[in-house]
């Protein structure tokens, strides 16, 4: 994997973001068996103001959010609850998966509200973002169930409790 991180908010400097991102992305790629190439992922470590701008521009939602993703390829399954297509190297030989943006304040607030560690929440959101890059989504119910189950499985292998279970720290 090739990870390119752009840090716009200096608070991320002390958050060990690179190792969290590498671990989260690698865990998702391994689980989905797409670790055979040096897949490229770009990560923007920003603040709420910046992610609100991006959210307004790309999703027409004028508010901050925790994580956004821009897949390099359209991989979504046609059938609800189906597996997305596998990513492919493009005609130039590039193995780009796409871009992820993550907002510091929202991540921190959500972790505190859910009573979980900031590090675990960041890793969860990067797994979530990586799954979006790989064609998973949560708009349709069947797709949401598939994506959530994958997140829980991947996070469990990383030693992170189920973020959707009220007893183990829901809130994502």
Specify the residue for token string 């991006």.
Answer: 54
The mean pLDDT value for 93-114 works out to 97
Parallel, antiparallel, or unpaired for β 2-7 and 67-71? unpaired
pLDDT score at 142: 97
Angle between helices 104-114 and 48-59 (to 10 degrees): 100
Digit-coded pLDDT (tens) for 45-98 = 999 999 999 999 999 999 999 999 999 999 999 999 999 999 999 888 899 999
Q: How far apart are the C-alpha atoms of 83 and 67, rounded to whole Å?
A: 22
Parallel, antiparallel, or unpaired for β 2-7 and 40-46? parallel
Cβ-contact 31, 154 below 8 angstroms: yes
124 among the known binding-site residues?
Answer: no
Q: In the chain, where are the structural domains located?
A: 2-82+93-157
Q: How far apart are the C-alpha atoms of 85 and 52, rounded to whole Å?
A: 30
Which CATH code fits 2-82+93-157?
3.40.390.30
Cβ-contact 43, 81 below 8 angstroms: no
Look over the chain and give the mean of its residue pLDDT values, rounded to a whole number. 95
Question: Is residue 172 predicted with pLDDT exceeding 50?
Answer: no
Q: For residue 165, how many other CB atoms are within 10 A of its CB?
A: 10
Question: Is residue 118 predicted with pLDDT exceeding 90?
Answer: yes
pLDDT band at residue 168, thresholds of 50, 70 and 90?
low
pLDDT score at 167: 67
């Amino acid at each position: 994997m090739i990870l390119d991180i752009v840090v716009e908010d200096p608070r991320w400097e002390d958050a060990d973001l690179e190792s969290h991102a590498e671990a989260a992305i690698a865990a998702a790629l391994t689980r989905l068996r797409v670790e055979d190439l040096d897949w490229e992922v770009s990560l923007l470590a920003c603040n709420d103001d910046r992610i609100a701008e991006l959210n307004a521009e790309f999703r027409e939602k004028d508010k901050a959010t925790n994580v956004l993703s821009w897949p390099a390829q359209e991989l979504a399954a046609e059938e609800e609850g189906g597996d997305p297509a596998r990513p492919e190297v493009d005609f130039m030989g590039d193995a780009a998966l796409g871009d992820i943006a993550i907002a510091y304040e929202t991540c921190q607030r959500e972790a505190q509200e859910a009573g979980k560690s900031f590090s675990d929440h960041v890793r969860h959101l990067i797994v979530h973002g990586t799954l979006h890059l790989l064609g998973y989504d949560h708009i349709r119910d069947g797709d949401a169930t598939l994506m959530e189950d994958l997140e829980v499985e991947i996070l469990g292998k990383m030693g992170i409790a189920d973020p959707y279970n009220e007893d183990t720290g829901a809130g994502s």
